[in-house]
Structure 1
Amino acid sequence: PRSQRRVHPMARVEEVEAEDASSDDRLAVDAPAPGEDARLAEETLGERVERGAPPWEHPDWYDLHDDAWTAGIEREGEHYRELVLALPPLDALDHLVDVGCGTGKAATQIARAYPGLGRVSLVEPTVAKLERAEARVREALPRAVVQSLSAGVGDGIRGLPSEATIVVATSVLMPTMEYRGGTFADGVDWVLDALSELHGMLAQGGLLYVLETLPPPWTVADVEGPVRRLAFGEFEAALEEAGFVDVECVYRFRDRVVFQASKDDA
């Protein structure tokens, strides 16, 4: 089964133990015995690593990171701006596909940055949002060919765009993965199917840009446990397994990240 073949790159415990802190309501930690705080303070880093201590046990580390993991809604526009800045120059011969376009936030920003863009395809399952996105993009690109398709991704739907030079997916894959439910292995299977569809939309040498929110670093790596978002390394591995090459993180601020990957079937 697909999930059995994909366990090893998708659930690496070191990702869980490497980055940030937890809150008490997310992970129950036994209260220290009398004198335990003093013992922890006297441990060396090597001793903590040897006994497999999670970083959030350290009180200073916890205080430093507890409220600093998420990027914050006030910076959301900056993340989209950084995605636009990461794009190559786009002109009349380019074809942009915005997957899960919503009301056109990403596509409209790209259109305003590159008013000579020749073709845009919008993919979104909610018709009302798709209509608004199309209207916004047509206003920004009056000379471009703008097409729309009411569809989701990752479900084998036919008629998806192809031969695109750029595909963007902004805050689509991870929310959908969580919403579908099931186990983490189920979620990985769906993400790989979705990424394979995005790969199929691209022309040879085309580029994918994915803007997503990572899970907290204290998330447990349990393949048969409840579905959760992919950690940084897991997302990289998923992109590579779906056939993408030259996978690179082109922007990261706390839990928000932009991955760039290219299609090369040679």
Structure 2
Amino acid sequence: MRNPKLLILAPLVLFLAWQLVPITTVNIAQYDEAIYLDVARSIQRTGLPIRTIDPEGRLLLDQTPLYPYALSLMTAVFGDDLRLSRLVTVAFALGTIALVFKIAERRRGPLAGLVAASLLAANPFFNLYSYFIRMEVFMCFFLVLATFFLDRYEESLRDRTLVAGSLAITTAVMLKVIAVTYWGAAVLWVAWIAKGSRVRHLLWLIAPTMVGLAIWLGGSLLVPGRFEAMAARWQGAIGLNA
């Protein structure tokens, strides 16, 4: 092949072929989509992520709140269009596949990039989440983007690549809090490979995410009973309430 980098087109086409199924068959908002669109409208009216499930409304703070605010901004600019909002998720999924190709291609060559990107493009769970109004694909995009920058940091130990990776991790965590697991692993990894600037580099990696989490938890504490309910939900999710 004259230009091996064009191999990226194969997994992208494969992914879009899978996406034709939900694009052509799913025309109404699903349960979680309806919740996020409702919260997005509340943000436009009040500035707060309120779910209008009852007359008083409930703050949706079980997860870090970046996605509802981003969705609110998008629908405010482009209108409350279900299909357009879904296609934005598809676009970020395509970006995630392209980043996976780039990372593997840089490390092991174009064929490795093709295999890695194709595995992601054919993953049924990734495909399922990639068409709907949910934050998981956006979180994945920023985690893979963080990996892209940290891969370069490992070679150069340059400050700017670490800062870029740190901001990508923070964005992922603020999209969905489960991304803190990646953040924790990244902190241990940087502590291991950093040399003379270990303390400074760790601060750059730790501080942005800590600030974001503090703002989210602080907002939860301001609502009576909200933090306790959120903690109970997380305990139930990992089986501690059984």
Q: Same fold per TM (> 0.5)?
A: no
Higher helix share: 2
Query: Which structure is richer in relative contact order (CA contacts within 8 A, separation 6 or more)?
Result: 1
Higher strand share: 1
Report the structure number with the largest CA radius of gyration.
Answer: 1
| TM-score, normalised relative to structure 2 | 0.30
| TM-score, normalised relative to structure 1 | 0.28
